[in-house]
Structure 1
Amino acid sequence: MNNCFIIPIYNHHDTIKLTVQQLLPFGYSIIIADDGSNIATKQVLAELAAQYSQVNIITLAQNSGKGVAMCTAIQYAYQQGFSHGLQIDADGQHDVNDVPLFWQKATQYPEALISGAPLYDSSMPLGRKIGREITHFWVRIETLSWQIKDSMLGFRVYPLHSSNAIIQRYSIGQRMDFDTDIMVRLFWHDIPVHFISTKVIYPLGGRSNFNMLRDNWLITKMHTRLFFGMLCRVPKLLTRQQRVKYES
């Protein structure tokens, strides 16, 4: 395995340095996709790239959305010869202490998508909690399965070959609809999904780039596309379910 980290970022100049410093000891390249951030963030990123040879910056000309940043970074990482990329947020939400568990699981199941199953504390906003439950409901329908424990957490290891193929084949969600969209489509294409329970926090004073109106509308449209995409895959999905039951 040839591993790397992938970090999409938009205006998190106050947290990205600590995130990078926590990842450096693993010895893997760190690919940061700058989604048209402000000057303060660009300055911090330039300093990190100058200070650490492991850090590579991909710069998008304008803010285009998390999905665009992730698709760009996944394609870049694959072209650079990496086999697996661990996506992690720039804002300190994810528990870096669990990173070794993700790499161990990816080594055990190199063809699989390894994703975090979030354990939230009381800092999680109620609106986000309700939104996640709605998405969980629709993902179960879109996959005809209960296998996907969570599809929204951006803390996961991508098998880059199959992920790049999905990006090339489909128009994946460009903003906060990305994480669910690509996971469901990987599942449709028989990529196994394994989960690791991990603590997720909403830091006090933290800044979220989730736009309630725009992103919820995009997620609604995404579920509509996925639902109709599921209909033509019903026989295949049901056959997969029977196979999973038989193997278990």
Structure 2
Amino acid sequence: MERSQSHLVLIPSYNTGATVFETVKAARAQWAPVWVVVDGSTDGTARQLEAMAAGDPDLSVMVLPENRGKGAAVLAGIEAAQAEGFTHALTMDADGQHPAKLIADFMAASAAEPSAMILGKPVFGPEAPALRVNGRKVSNGWANLETLWMGVGDSLYGFRVYPIEPLARIMQSQSFMRRFDFDPEAVVRLCWAGVKPINMDAPVRYLSAEEGGVSHFNYLRDNTLLTWMHTRLFLGFVLRLPMLVWRRIRAAS
């Protein structure tokens, strides 16, 4: 497999147990390089990941000293990647939910339109919790309103290819987008910055506890975080509405 000089796979990981090893192996079977950002995990996976990387020049592991949140882990990864000359990062979760077999397809779509972001649009299986499937419709509705329906297929699904420069610039300019609010806020703010979303279907798996499934989603805490996020994004949308309307008119003409 030829090592990409522009696109890398970035996997933030926090206390996912042995599942992260299978996720990394699956990603490496499809792409090089793969970077893992261990977000202050206390489950001992960092040492084994570093051992895996020692025997694989196309696998890199960054260990953060404390848990900072998914967005903070992604930011640490893309800043390091940008410093090494990478232009795009495909983010995927470490918990086995995302389809490694589609990495090459998403990277090809990104290479064809490098100024765009390639967004996974989840295809749910029968095991998907109804509360999670239906609950995301609220966030999707707000995200589409806040972007004046630029075409965000799903605001929460984290299997995506981001152009690094605009994402890093947006995150470095403010202190939000550091935890569970990262995925939806990233697409909204990138749309505001003029980054076009391209949607591609991708299956999502919800692993049972017996299969090694791990979820750090807390319904009260994280829904409160999302509510605050959409409140401030809506205020930002109102301020940007003339610009967004003008952009839509110009695109249609």
Q: Which TM-score band (shorter chain)?
A: over 0.9
**Partner amino acid for 2:49?**
L
Q: 1: CA distance between counterparts of 2:194 and 2:87?
A: 18
Aligned counterpart, 1:10: 14
**Partner amino acid for 1:216?**
N
Counterpart of 1:133 (choices 127, 134, 137) is 137
CA shift at 1:236, angstroms?
Answer: 0.9
Whether the 8 Å contact between 1:172 and 1:182 is mirrored in structure 2 is: no
**Is 2:190 aligned against 1:186?**
yes
Counterpart of 2:120 (choices 116, 121, 126) is 116
What is the CA RMSD across the aligned residues, in angstroms? Answer: 1.4
**Is 2:90 aligned against 1:86?**
yes
Counterpart of 1:98 (choices 99, 102, 106) is 102
TM-score by length of 2: 0.92
1:233 is paired with a residue whose SS is helix
Whether the 8 Å contact between 1:9 and 1:32 is mirrored in structure 2 is: yes
CA shift at 1:106, angstroms?
Answer: 0.4
Aligned counterpart, 2:163: 159
Aligned counterpart, 2:64: 60
- Structure 2 gaps of 5+ residues are none
- Structure 1 gaps of 5+ residues are none
Aligned counterpart, 2:200: 196
Ranges of 4+ aligned residues in structure 1 off by more than 4 Å: none
Whether the 8 Å contact between 2:150 and 2:197 is mirrored in structure 1 is: no
Whether the 8 Å contact between 2:118 and 2:198 is mirrored in structure 1 is: yes
**Is 2:208 aligned against 1:211?**
no
Q: Deviations over 1:23-70 (max 9, x none)?
A: 223452211111110242123212212221222112111112111111
Counterpart of 2:153 (choices 149, 152, 173) is 149
| Identity of matched residues, % | 36
**Partner amino acid for 2:37?**
A
Q: 1: CA distance between counterparts of 2:43 and 2:152?
A: 38
Counterpart of 1:176 (choices 176, 180, 186) is 180
Aligned counterpart, 1:245: 252
Q: Deviations over 1:71-122 (max 9, x none)?
A: 1111111112111111011111111121121011001100111110111112
Aligned counterpart, 2:241: 234
Q: 1: CA distance between counterparts of 2:251 and 2:152?
A: 13
CA shift at 1:242, angstroms?
Answer: 2.1
TM-score by length of 1: 0.94
Aligned counterpart, 2:47: 43
CA shift at 1:123, angstroms?
Answer: 1.5
Q: 1: CA distance between counterparts of 2:151 and 2:122?
A: 15
Counterpart of 1:70 (choices 74, 80, 84) is 74
Q: 2: CA distance between counterparts of 1:245 and 1:152?
A: 28
Count of equivalent residues: 246
Q: 1: CA distance between counterparts of 2:55 and 2:85?
A: 23
